[in-house]
């Protein structure tokens, strides 16, 4: 297909139309600036300006030497969650175990609903108090509190408020799928930073920031998929790196906070101007709760509120009542403790099974998943496991860049018998 136009606006309109009519498809490369300039008989600056506009509009992305590439905003993509109607044993979902989710009806009985109208304070006073106490020890400075419809919603709104399409965001590699999709949906570019068992690597984060990343999205505990949590030492190193870039937006996705067995170590330096600590209620109270708490500096909070205003501006007080009633009730502490122990027990049983069969896995991990790094092709191994009746998540689908092979196994519902059988089947599939 021919790109035509004499001005940057005309080239922009032409490429946009070609992308919308699918004549240019996701992943297609645009001609090099120099070639198109010669072909159209115009200056390179004009073509470069058109390409910049395409990137800012989220229609294309730049990929270093690969040039400018069309981005499909509407591509369907893999999501977290159970596979409906799968005949396989689903260990790919990333879901919590329903046994450990609190009783919502009982919560509402303890706190009967009173109608709220437009214009009420956006956060329930009681829930605000709870969040204030919860966040206070882990925030680097004075903070404001907001609620969003879950952690992913917070991440997307925060990124959107501070960045423009084409900007780079440093993320863990491999990365939680929904975060990756959130970036892609608004035309942001993920720069992968490797992780080891102490979390994100400080030298790679430094490199990503040096190369222009304007935000970092980091999981301090129970990284998805590897399960690793930040060590005290690593958190300090990361904080030192971030201190050199005070205008970079730091988003800390502490999604497993209520259930984590790891200590929280903060990476946000006191000098950071833009930061947000996000804590979801999804894993402990249930993914359907769709509420996350966000503590952030006041400028970030203001921007987040503006972004919330485009929807309803507040998270339903009915949901807030439920969350408040649950998190402030003494029975919840006991339930969360039981859930923690149960998840740990299931994880240990699977780890022991894997150990017995000589299969390597990520140690000291937390969360609802166990990560098995693999040398070879994880697709072939996932397929071999599917033939034996197991559905697991392929690590390569979570890679931000480069090659990552591994399996992510959700442990929240696995039984001891399944652990033994799965370990045997992995051994056979890998072998
Ligand atoms: C890293 C990470 N962040 C956030 C979430 C949950 O987000 P939400 O609060 O939107 O349910 C998950 C769930 O698996 C996760 O793994």
* HEC-encoded secondary structure of 248-270: CEEEEECCCCCCCCCCCCCCCCC
pTM (2 d.p.): 0.85
What's the CATH number where 58 sits?
1.10.10.10
Taking the centre of ligand 1 as the mean of its atom positions, its distance from the CA of residue 16, in whole angstroms, is 33
Residue of minimum CA distance from atom 5 in ligand 1: 255
Mark whether 162 and 221 lie in a shared domain.
Answer: yes
Q: Give the long-range contacts of residues 37-41, CB within 8 A, separation 24 or more.
A: 40/3, 40/4, 40/5, 40/6, 40/11
Taking the centre of ligand 1 as the mean of its atom positions, its distance from the CA of residue 255, in whole angstroms, is 5
For residue 235, the Cα-to-chain-centroid distance in whole angstroms is 19
Q: Residue holding tokens 């003494």?
A: 330
Mark whether 93 and 108 lie in a shared domain.
Answer: no
For the segment 27-44, what is each residue's pLDDT rounded down to a tens digit? 889 999 999 999 999 999
Token pair recorded at residue 332: 């919840």
Mark whether 145 and 252 lie in a shared domain.
Answer: yes
Within a domain: 353: yes
For the segment 70-83, what is each residue's pLDDT rounded down to a tens digit? 876 545 456 777 77
Residue 31 burial by CB count (10 A; 0-12/13-18/19+): exposed, middle or buried? middle
Q: Residue holding tokens 């559905």?
A: 391
Token pair recorded at residue 315: 């998270």
d(CA 395, CA 380): 12
More confident residue, 125 or 402: 125
Taking the centre of ligand 1 as the mean of its atom positions, its distance from the CA of residue 240, in whole angstroms, is 26
Mark whether 61 and 205 lie in a shared domain.
Answer: no
**Residue where one domain finishes, among candidates 294, 327, 360:** 327
Q: Is 151 in the pocket of ligand 1 (CB under 6 A)?
A: yes
Pick the closest to residue 296 from 327, 274, 271, 263 (CA basis).
Answer: 274
H or E element: which one contains 245? none
Across residues 424-429, what is the average pLDDT?
95
Give the per-residue pLDDT at 311: 57
**Ligand 1 atom nearest to 80, measured from its CA:** 14
Beta strand residue intervals within 254-324, DSSP E: 275-280, 292-296
Point out which residues pair with 173 in neighbouring strands: 194
**Domain membership of residue 153 as a residue range:** 103-327
Q: Is 156 in the pocket of ligand 1 (CB under 6 A)?
A: no
Q: Are 229 and 220 in contact (CB under 8 A)?
A: yes
Give the per-residue pLDDT at 95: 94
Taking the centre of ligand 1 as the mean of its atom positions, its distance from the CA of residue 151, in whole angstroms, is 6
Q: Is 367 in the pocket of ligand 1 (CB under 6 A)?
A: no
d(CA 272, CA 61): 28
Within a domain: 2: no
2 has a pLDDT exceeding 80: yes
Q: Is 253 in the pocket of ligand 1 (CB under 6 A)?
A: yes
Q: Is 181 in the pocket of ligand 1 (CB under 6 A)?
A: no
Q: What is the DSSP string of 60-83?
A: EEE-GGG-EEE--TT-----SS--
Mutate to test the pocket of ligand 1, among 152, 276, 279 (most ligand atoms within 8 A of CB): 152
d(CA 136, CA 131): 8
408 has a pLDDT exceeding 80: yes
Mark whether 281 and 379 lie in a shared domain.
Answer: no
Residue of minimum CA distance from atom 14 in ligand 1: 94
Mark whether 340 and 322 lie in a shared domain.
Answer: no
Number of domains in the chain: 3
324 has a pLDDT exceeding 60: yes
Mutate to test the pocket of ligand 1, among 101, 177, 178, 293 (most ligand atoms within 8 A of CB): 178
Across residues 286-305, what is the average pLDDT?
96
What's the CATH number where 394 sits?
3.90.1150.10
Give the per-residue pLDDT at 241: 98
Token pair recorded at residue 269: 């330096």
**Ligand 1 atom nearest to 219, measured from its CA:** 1
Residue of minimum CA distance from atom 2 in ligand 1: 255
Mark whether 219 and 120 lie in a shared domain.
Answer: yes
Mutate to test the pocket of ligand 1, among 182, 283, 288, 291 (most ligand atoms within 8 A of CB): 283
Q: Are 135 and 279 in contact (CB under 8 A)?
A: yes
The Cα-based distances of 81 to 50, 107, 267, 379 in angstroms read 39, 25, 30, 19
Q: Is 287 in the pocket of ligand 1 (CB under 6 A)?
A: yes
Within a domain: 79: no
Within a domain: 75: no
Taking the centre of ligand 1 as the mean of its atom positions, its distance from the CA of residue 354, in whole angstroms, is 26
For the segment 353-380, what is each residue's pLDDT rounded down to a tens digit? 999 999 999 999 999 999 999 988 899 9
Question: Percentage of the chain with pLDDT > 70?
Answer: 97
Across residues 185-205, what is the average pLDDT?
93
H or E element: which one contains 282? helix 282-285
Taking the centre of ligand 1 as the mean of its atom positions, its distance from the CA of residue 152, in whole angstroms, is 6
Residue of minimum CA distance from atom 16 in ligand 1: 224
Mark whether 119 and 199 lie in a shared domain.
Answer: yes
Q: Is 176 in the pocket of ligand 1 (CB under 6 A)?
A: yes
Residues 6+ apart with CB under 8 A from 46: 6, 7, 8, 11, 37
What's the CATH number where 134 sits?
3.40.640.10
Give the per-residue pLDDT at 312: 61
Within a domain: 81: no
Task: At 372, give phi and psi (nearest 5°).
Answer: -115, 105
């Amino acid at each position: 297909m021919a790109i035509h136009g004499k001005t940057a606006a005309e080239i922009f309109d032409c490429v946009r139309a070609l992308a919308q009519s699918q004549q240019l498809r996701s992943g297609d490369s645009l001609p090099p600036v120099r070639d198109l300039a010669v072909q159209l008989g115009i200056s390179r600056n004009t073509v470069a300006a058109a390409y910049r506009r395409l990137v800012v509009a989220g229609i294309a992305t730049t990929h270093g030497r690969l040039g400018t590439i069309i981005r499909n905003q509407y591509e369907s993509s893999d999501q977290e969650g159970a596979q409906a109607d799968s005949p396989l044993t689903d260990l790919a979902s990333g879901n919590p175990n329903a046994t450990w989710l609190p009783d919502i009806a009982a919560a509402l009985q303890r706190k009967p609903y009173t109608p709220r109208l437009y214009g009420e304070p956006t956060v329930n006073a009681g829930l605000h108090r709870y969040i204030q106490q919860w966040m206070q020890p882990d925030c680097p400075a004075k903070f404001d509190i907001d609620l969003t419809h879950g952690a992913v919603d917070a991440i997307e709104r925060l990124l959107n408020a501070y960045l423009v399409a084409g900007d780079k965001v440093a993320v863990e590699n491999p990365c939680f799928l929904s975060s990756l999709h959130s970036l892609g949906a608004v035309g942001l570019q993920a720069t992968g930073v490797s992780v080891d068992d102490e979390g994100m690597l400080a030298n790679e984060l430094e490199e990503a920031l040096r190369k222009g990343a304007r935000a970092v999205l980091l999981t301090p505990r129970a990284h998805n998929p590897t399960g690793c949590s930040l060590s005290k030492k690593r958190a300090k190193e990361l904080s030192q790196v971030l201190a050199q870039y005070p205008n970079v937006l730091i988003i800390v996705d502490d999604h497993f906070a209520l259930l984590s067995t790891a200590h929280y170590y903060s990476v946000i330096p006191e000098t950071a101007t833009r930061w947000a600590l996000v804590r979801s209620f999804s894993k402990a109270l249930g993914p359907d709760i769709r509420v996350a708490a966000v503590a952030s500096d006041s400028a970030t909070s203001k921007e987040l509120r503006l972004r919330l205003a485009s929807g309803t501006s507040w998270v339903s007080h009915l949901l807030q009542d439920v969350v408040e009633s649950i998190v402030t009730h003494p029975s919840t502490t006991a339930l969360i403790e039981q859930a923690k122990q149960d998840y740990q027990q299931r994880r240990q049983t699977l780890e022991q099974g894997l150990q017995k069969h000589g299969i390597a896995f990520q140690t000291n991990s937390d969360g609802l998943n166990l990560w098995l790094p693999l040398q070879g092709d994880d697709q072939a191994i996932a397929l071999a496991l599917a033939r034996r009746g197991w559905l697991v998540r392929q690590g390569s689908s979570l890679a931000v860049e480069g090659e990552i092979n591994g399996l992510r196994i959700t442990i929240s519902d696995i039984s001891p018998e399944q652990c033994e059988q799965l370990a045997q089947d992995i051994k056979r599939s890998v072998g």
